[in-house]
Amino acid sequence: MNRFVLLVVGLALAFGLLGYWRGWYHISNDGKVDVQVDQAKFGQDKDEFRKTAGDKVRSMKDEVADLWRKSEGLKGEDKAQTQKELDELTRKRDRLEEQLRELNDAGPDRFQSLNDDVSKSLDDVRKRIDELNRKLDKQQGK
Return the closest-CA partner of residue 139 out of 84, 81, 98.
Answer: 81
Q: Would you place residue 142 in the very low, low, confident or very high pLDDT band (cuts 50, 70, 90)?
A: low
The pLDDT of residue 25? 64
- pLDDT > 90: what percent of the chain? 3
pTM here is: 0.65
What does the alpha-carbon distance between residue 128 and residue 118 come to, in Å, rounded to a whole number?
15
Positive/negative CA dihedral, 75, 81, 86, 87: positive
Residue pLDDT, tens place only, 6-51? 877 887 777 777 777 777 666 666 656 556 666 777 778 888 888 8
The domain limits of the chain are 38-140
